[in-house]
Amino acid sequence: MGYSGKRHDMIVRLRQPYNAESALIPLRESLVTPLDLFYVRGHGNVPGVDPLRYRLEVSGLVEQPLIISLEELRNNFPKATVTAVLQCAGNRRDELMEVTPIPEETPWGAGAIGNARWTGAPLRDVLLAAGVGAETRQAAFLGLDDVEDEGGINYGSSIPIEKAMSPEVLLAYEMNGEPLRPEHGSPLRVVTPGYIGARSVKWLSSITLQTEPSDNPFQAREYKLFPPNVTAETVDYSEGLMLGEASTNAVICEPSDGASLVAGPVWVRGYALAGGGRRVERVDLTADEGSSWSQARLSEDEDQPWAWRFWEASLDLAPGTHRIAVRTFDSASNTQPEDAGAIWNFKGYANNAWHKIKVNAR
C-alpha cells in the first residue's frame, strides 16, 4: 500500500501534497472505483479535522443562517446515495502537452477520474432548511485547506443555485459505503455530479448563498477555458469560460498505448462519460483513422445518469502497427473533436479529443 492506503501502482504526480491518478488497466476493472484506486487532486495540504468539533456554516442570502454539526447533518436530514463520476478538469492534459507544452501544470494522464457511490445529505435539503432568498443565483463553497500557492487562502468554488437545488448534489460523508477518507475531504465534502471535479469542494467549512459566482481564485481565475491563441502572458482572467458541466469523453484503458499484441481478435476496453446528466448512448472505435467505425458494447445502463459507462469491443488486427481511436456520442448527440490541437488551451483543461493509442500486432 502506498500513501494513505492507496495502491502502490498509483501514478503519483506530486508527493506533497499527495496528488495521484490510477493506472488505466486497474481502473477499468470495476464500475465502482475502489477507494484505494481513486485519484486524488488537492491544491493544499490535507487539513486534519476533528469530526466531533466540525461545524458547517450556511449563510448569505438565507432566511435563517445555520451552524450544523456532523451528527445533526446525519440525523436531521435525509440520507441519499448517488453513484457519480468525478473527473478532474485536467484529466488527459498530457495529450494537450504533446501539442504544445504547458509548463507548471500537472501532466495528468487519463486516470484523474473515478466513479464512486457517494452518500450524504442532499444539499437541497440543507438549503431549504436555511430558506433560499429570492435574489440567490449561486451557492459558494469554501474548504478548510490552505493553498500556499495562492497566498494561503482556502480553496473555494461555486455552482448555480439551480444545480445546487438539484437532488443529485450531495454533502457527502461516505464514499463507497465507508466514512470519507481524509484525502477525499473528510468529514464532509460537496459532490456535484456532472460537473468538473473542481466544483466538488472537499473539507467543506461553509456555504454562502449569493448573487455572483465565488471570487475565490479557483472559481474566478483557475478552471476557465481560453481559446488556443491565449497564453499565460496575454491572458485576461476576467474573460474565458467558467468550467461547469463536464464534456462528453471516452478513453481506451486496455490495451495500453504502445502495447505489443498477438495479431487476430483483440479486446479493446475503456470508459465513457457524458457530462451534465446526459447519457452515453454509443461508443465507436476506428483502426483506420476514422474511415470506418465499429460500435462497442456498452455496460448495462443501470439508470445512473451521473455514473460513467464501461464499453468493450473486439477488433481484428492484422500483423503490423495500428492506431486505434475511440469517440462517444451522448444523448444530445454531442461527440468529441478529432484532434487535441483544436481545443488546446494554456491551462490544459477539458481535453475530450478522440483518445488514440498505437499498438503493434505480431
Look up residue 301 and give its three cell numbers: 445502463
In the bound complex, what is the minimum distance in angstroms from residue 276's beta carbon to ligand MTE? Answer: 17
In the bound complex, what is the minimum distance in angstroms from residue 156's beta carbon to ligand MTE? Answer: 8
Residue 144: burial class (beta carbons within 10 Å; 0-12, 13-18, 19+) = buried
d(CA 96, CA 187): 35
The rounded Cα 150 to chain-centroid distance in angstroms is 22
Task: Name the residue nearer to ligand MTE (CB basis): 4 or 314.
Answer: 4
d(CA 44, CA 336): 32
d(CA 52, CA 267): 50
Query: What values do phi and psi take at 308, rounded to 5?
Result: -85, 170
DSSP string, 213-226: ---SHHHHTSSEE-
- Quick one: which segment of 132-140, 193-201, 230-238, 265-273 binds ligand MTE (CB under 6 A)? 193-201
- Quick one: which segment of 198-206, 275-283, 285-293, 345-353 binds ligand MTE (CB under 6 A)? 198-206
202 binds ligand MTE (CB under 6 A): yes
Q: 232-268: string of b/e by CB count within 10 Å (b at 16+)?
A: eeeeeeeebebbbbbbbbbbbbbbeeeeeeeeeebeb
207 binds ligand MTE (CB under 6 A): no
In the bound complex, what is the minimum distance in angstroms from residue 204's beta carbon to ligand MTE? Answer: 7
143 binds ligand MTE (CB under 6 A): yes
Task: Name the residue nearer to ligand MTE (CB basis): 41 or 282.
Answer: 41
- Quick one: which segment of 41-49, 66-74, 236-244, 311-319 binds ligand MTE (CB under 6 A)? 41-49
43 binds ligand MTE (CB under 6 A): yes
Site string for ligand MTE, 55-94 (x = CB under 6 A): -------------------------------x-x------
Q: Name the helix (H) or strand (E) containing 52.
A: none
- HSE-CB of 355 using CA atoms within 13 angstroms: 31
In the bound complex, what is the minimum distance in angstroms from residue 43's beta carbon to ligand MTE? Answer: 4
Task: Name the residue nearer to ligand MTE (CB basis): 3 or 293.
Answer: 3
Residues at the site binding ligand MTE, with contacts judged by CB under 6 A:
38-44, 86, 88, 143, 145, 155, 184, 197-198, 200-203
